[in-house]
Structures are given as C-alpha cells and as structure tokens.
C-alpha cells in the first residue's frame, strides 16, 4: 500500500484525502500498535486532543471507534495544544497520544499525529509498522464484551498542562502588558489563562474556538494585527501562535517580528551567560539564519545544524545531550521541559529572560544581526525535483556564484504542493538574482 504518513503525521484535506474511514483504520491499527508497545504497569489508555477545525469532530469520532475496537480506553482532552498532548501522554501514564490538527495550514486541511508513551512523535519505522498493520487487517485482534474500550471525557487534563506551564515562570510577570494572538486555534483558552495566572495584563486577539477562522489572516503566519495592537496599546511585547500552538513568533514593543532564530538567539545567549546551556550548543535546522550562528559564537556558543523538521531537531538534542533547539518558523524545543515544540512554554521562557535581564525585548533582540535571506514557495504539480538535470545545473551555477558569500537550500514541502527555495547571503542583490533564476527553472520544469 502507498505510504500514508508524511513528514509530520497523516495530512490532507479533511473528508477528501483524510477521510473518516481512513481515521477509523488508523485508530484500529494504531491502537493495536500502541497496545503491543505498552510497558510494565501501563494500562491500555490513549489520549486524543484536537484543535478547533470543524472537521475535528468527524475525525475524532472515527479515531475513537478505531481505538475502542482495538481494546483501548480513550480519554478526550478536548481543544488543547499539540505540546499539551505530548506532555500529558508522557506524564499521565498513557500508552500513546494523538493530536488532530493541521497546524498552520488552511482550514480545510487536517491531520492525525501520533505520540508514543514518552510523548515523542513516532519514528519512521514505527509509522511503517502501523501501515503494515493497516495492510493486513486480519492481524488486528478484535476484543469482545468487557474487553472493548471505553470513551471518557477528560477536561481536567488541560488544568494539569496549564499548571505545568505556570510552574516554568521564574518570578512574577505582573509588570508585563502582553498581547496574545491565538489564531482561533488550540491556544485560545490556555495561553491567556497562563499569562493571566502569572500576573500579566493580557490583551487577547482571535481568542475564541471558531474553527472556520483558524489561521485565517492571523496568528504566527500573519502577525499584521498583533503588531498594530502592540504599538497602539503600548504593550511590552506579544506572541502569535499557530493553529495547534506548537510554534510561536514574538513581537517586540516596537512592532518588530522576531522569528524562531531570534528567540533561540535571545534564550541561548542568556543561558550561555548563566551557564545553563548544555555543551554551550543550540540545535537548528539548515533554514536558520547564519546570524544566529554569529550571535552564539560571539558569546562563546555553538550552533549544530540538522535537516529540516522538528523531529530531527529532537533527535540531535537527544543524541548530543543538548537542551535547546528549534526552527526558524518558531518551533522551539526546551528539552528539559517538553518533547516537542511548545509555543506557550516558549513564550514563558522568553518572558523569563526579559524579566531577569530587565531589558526590553527589542534591546535583547539586538544580539542577532540576521543575514539577508529570501524564501520562495514555488507551486508545482510534481515535487520530485532532485532527478531533474536542468534544476541541478541551475543550483550548481548558483552555488558557484555564491562561493563563501551565501548559500542556497532547495527542498520539497512535506505537506503542501510547493518546492521551497531559500537563498541567504551578505548581498541582497545577489541573493535576489539567484532566487529568481532557481525558482524560474523549478517552475518551468515541475509544472
């Protein structure tokens, strides 16, 4: 059977590619897999969380049917951030967890993401095992009578996640005025409650569970409104989340946007100063700006690059016993606290730095001077670009033009019909010229 899992779970247009029938099969096969992996005293329980998308009800119902048919008890966390599911799966003795969300993607899309009992996303091999079970339905045992699973509403779990977040604040945040844009998504309730519990004055934007508006001209992918509100209200800073709140971008008091690279630079350099950054190293993907490496280097730190994707950041953190890493997009992992990018946790960690340093966010951000960088998403019909001779030739010529003055990265998106082309260098004219040349050839060859 063709591969169902992509780079971040199972994704697609809900009720088209991602159907309730497919969700039912994933629940049954995934349930069988989780039961087989169950350890020691663990009982057969799985946690399901979701964002606000209208299709979430449909997919949740199908997953419940699949999991209970496999013999698992299902606990419903309701509308909760993805990192909340990861944290609760790990700490509340679940043998697995599932998040129903398409993150920052458009409203019609949705996704199903599995976590193991440690709160980690499944490996490629584990996802392949679930697909193997799906391809051999006779291998799925069907319990009967008392052995069939049950469904339980579990709103109390959100309170445990909120308590965990509040415990990560160092000191009182009562002097802060903060603006939060929750993108009509999974953070709509927990993010404001967290910051209010810490004493901050909170101004909320797009903070209702209106699924048909999720990510629509708001949140981390469109921070225009939050920038305006911060400047109008004299707020100290703000945070814009995506639909499932595993990513965040910060906005300083002047309305300047600070992406994940700035956040890692500020937090990383602060931890270097306090002696708390493991091996004096931060992990980032190849798409992070060279300015991040320069900023850390000036403070005696290092940057370890990995391939694109937060799962690879996590692998590098674990493999090298490091504690801080992330992506330019705002997926930041503080590994001592959670196993995945956590937007609300990241906002608190940045709040801690601002509080302890007693400096404005714009002043802290001055530690990093980003290299000029342009990213273009080229819409294509065919994403299999690597074997195309014309594309390889134009990339080779571009790299020769750059020399040591810049770099070029090309990759196909795992969730959208686009090929991403990123050019970065010291000279804006040169990077724009190269970006246009490479993007033009890709568009011609792949459509």
Nearest to 108 by CA among 232, 224, 243: 243
Give, in order, the Cα–Cα distances in Å from 359 to each of 3, 47, 237, 284: 49, 41, 12, 25
Question: Which residue's entry shows tokens 């959208």?
Answer: 416
Instruction: Say how far apart CA 180 and CA 321 lie, in whole Å.
Output: 33
Catalytic residue among 41, 55, 61, 103: 103
Asked whether the beta carbons of 244 and 103 are under 8 A apart, the reply is yes
DSSP string, 142-181: ---GGGS--EEE-THHHHHHHHHHHTT--S--TT-EEEEE
Contact yes or no for 115/86 (Cβ under 8 A): yes
Supply the DSSP string of 394-431, one letter for each residue: HHHHHHHHHTTSEEEEEEE-SSSSEEEEEEEES-HHHH
HSE-CB of 188 using CA atoms within 13 angstroms: 21
Distance CA 261, CA 329 (A): 8
**Is 103 assigned a catalytic role?**
yes
**Cα–Cα distance for residue pair 244/398, rounded to 1 Å:** 37
- HEC string of 329-395? CCCEEECCCCCCCCHHHHHHHHHHHHHHHCCCHHHHHCCCCCCCEEEEEEECCCCCCCCCHHHHHHH
Structure tokens, 329: 């997009």
Report the candidate in 27, 60, 46 with the shortest Cα–Cα distance to residue 211: 60
Task: Give the H or E element holding residue 11.
Answer: strand 10-13
| Residues known to be catalytic | 103
């Amino acid at each position: 059977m063709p591969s169902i899992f992509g780079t971040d779970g199972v994704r697609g247009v809900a009720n088209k590619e991602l159907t309730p029938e497919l969700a039912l099969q994933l629940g049954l096969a995934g349930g069988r897999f989780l039961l087989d992996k169950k350890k020691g005293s663990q009982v057969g329980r799985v946690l399901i969380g979701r964002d606000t998308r209208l299709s979430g009800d449909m997919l949740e119902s199908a997953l419940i049917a699949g999991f209970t048919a496999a013999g698992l008890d299902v606990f419903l966390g309701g509308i909760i951030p993805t990192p909340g599911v990861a944290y609760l799966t790990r700490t509340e003795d679940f043998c697995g967890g599932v998040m129903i969300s398409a993150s920052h993607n458009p409203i019609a899309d949705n996704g199903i993401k599995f976590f193991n009992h440690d709160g980690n996303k499944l490996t490629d091999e584990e996802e392949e095992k679930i697909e193997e079970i799906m391809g051999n339905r006779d291998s799925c045992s069907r319990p009967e009578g008392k052995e069939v699973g049950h469904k339980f509403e579990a709103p109390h779990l959100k309170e445990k996640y909120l308590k965990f977040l509040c415990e990560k604040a160092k000191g009182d945040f009562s002097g802060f005025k903060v603006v939060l844009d929750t993108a009509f998504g999974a953070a709509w309730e927990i993010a404001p409650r967290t910051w209010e519990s810490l004493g901050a004055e909170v101004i909320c934007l797009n903070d209702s569970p209106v699924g048909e508006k999720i990510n629509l001209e708001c949140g981390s992918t469109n921070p225009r409104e939050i920038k305006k509100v911060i400047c109008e209200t004299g707020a100290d800073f703000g945070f814009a989340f995506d639909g499932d709140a595993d990513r965040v971008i910060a906005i300083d008091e002047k309305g300047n946007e600070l992406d994940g690279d700035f956040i890692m630079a500020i937090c990383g350099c602060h931890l270097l100063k306090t002696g708390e950054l493991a091996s004096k190293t931060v992990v980032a993907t190849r798409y992070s700006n060279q300015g991040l490496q320069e900023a850390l280097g000036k403070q005696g730190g290092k940057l370890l690059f990995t391939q694109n994707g937060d799962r690879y950041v996590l692998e590098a953190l674990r493999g090298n016993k490091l504690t801080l890493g992330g992506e330019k997009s705002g997926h930041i992992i503080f590994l001592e606290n959670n196993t995945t990018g956590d937007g609300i946790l990241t906002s608190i960690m940045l709040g801690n730095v601002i509080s302890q340093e007693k400096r404005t966010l714009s002043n802290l951000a001055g530690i990093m001077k980003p290299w000029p960088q342009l990213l273009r998403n080229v819409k294509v019909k065919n994403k299999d670009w690597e074997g195309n001779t014309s594309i390889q030739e134009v990339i080779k010529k571009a790299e020769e033009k750059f020399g040591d003055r810049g770099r070029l990265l090309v990759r196909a998106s795992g969730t959208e019909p686009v090929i991403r082309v990123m050019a970065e260098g010291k000279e804006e004219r040169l990077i724009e010229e190269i970006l246009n040349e490479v993007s033009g050839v890709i568009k011609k060859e792949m459509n």
